[in-house]
Structure 1
Amino acid sequence: MSSNLHDLPDSPCIGVCSTLFDEVCKGCGRTAAEVSNWVFLTGEEKRAVWERIEREGTAMRFKYDKL
């Protein structure tokens, strides 16, 4: 991921949450812990999460971008 953290939305959330039922949210690709602690993560930690979920590309956030 070449963009810097300031070029990204505040969070990967797209409002399609499944963390009550799944360990990894189907909407954004973050783990339940990442979702609940997002506001407490450092910029470096957030960037690492963004890089991982973009690399995995399995969340709905990325499937709709490719249509």
Structure 2
Amino acid sequence: MTAGSNAGDRESGNANIAPVPSPCIDVCRMNRAAGWCEGCLRTIDEIRGWSSFDEQQKRAVWDAIDVRHAQLIAEKKVPT
């Protein structure tokens, strides 16, 4: 093992992976109809739990945000 390496990270495949950043953009306004924050597209439970989520859970939230963003884009498209 080299200095500074973490055996647990290597075993889980997370070696040299940067921490998952928060999606918060300081536009904190919940859209009641969608159930998501209008800024970051997270649910209130995702916002509340973010600081206690592990990296895998945080990546799962980002995946859900990508799906929600695609939904919003699709809803705003005007048929030609």
* Class of the TM-score when normalised by the shorter of the 2 chains: 0.5 to 0.7
The alignment covers a number of residue pairs equal to 52
In proportion to residue count, which structure has more strand? 2
Deviation at 1:7, TM superposition (A): 7.1
Alpha carbons 2:19, 2:55 under 8 Å: kept: no
Structure 1: runs of 5 or more not aligned? 59-67
Alpha carbons 2:23, 2:40 under 8 Å: kept: yes
Other structure's SS at 2:36 match? coil
Deviation at 1:43, TM superposition (A): 0.7
Q: CA RMSD in A?
A: 2.0
Other structure's SS at 1:13 match? coil
Alignment pair present for 1:31 and 2:43: yes
Deviation at 1:36, TM superposition (A): 1.2
Q: After the TM superposition, list the runs of 4 or more consecutive aligned residues in structure 1 that deviate by more than 6 angstroms.
A: none
Percent pairwise identity: 37
Q: Distance in 2 between matches of 1:17 and 1:32?
A: 10
TM score, norm. by length of structure 1: 0.64
Bigger radius of gyration among the two? 2
Given residue 41 of structure 1, which amino acid in structure 2 is its aligned partner? F
Structure 2: runs of 5 or more not aligned? 1-16, 73-80
